[in-house]
Amino acid sequence: MKTRIDEDTCIGCGLCTSTAPEVYEMGDSGKAHAIQEVVPEGSESTAQEAADGCPVSAITIDEP
Ligand code: F3S
């Protein structure tokens, strides 16, 4: 599973970084990004939860 955040769309609400801190982190700009493109094993469900919960749908999840 891969994931990325469209930083132009992200409004910095912080839901993803609190839901899946092992997958997403907040940058200096106040926008979140994926720590690494490939979601760590075992974090797929929290990454999906974050993507589903993002209020502006900035998170993309790609299944392999
Ligand atoms: Fe941004 Fe959505 Fe995360 S607005 S901080 S990508 S939950």
In contact, 41 and 49? CB cutoff 8 Å: no
Q: State the distance from the centre of ligand 1 to the C-alpha of 43, rounded, in angstroms.
A: 17
- Which residue lies with its CA nearest to atom 3 of ligand 1? 16
Pocket around ligand 1: residues whose beta carbon is below 6 Å from it?
A: 5, 10-16, 32, 54-56, 58-59
Q: State the distance from the centre of ligand 1 to the C-alpha of 64, rounded, in angstroms.
A: 23
Task: Supply the pLDDT for residue 64.
Answer: 73
Task: Supply the pLDDT for residue 43.
Answer: 98
Which residue pairs, CB below 8 angstroms and at least 24 apart, start in 37-41?
37/2, 37/3, 37/4, 38/1, 38/2, 39/1, 39/2, 39/3
- Summarised one tens digit per residue, pLDDT across range 5-64 is 999 999 999 999 999 999 999 999 999 999 999 999 999 999 999 999 999 999 999 987
pTM above 0.75, yes or no: yes
Task: Supply the pLDDT for residue 59.
Answer: 98
Pocket test for ligand 1, best of 3, 4, 5 (most atoms within 8 A of CB): 5
Amino acid symbol at 35:
I
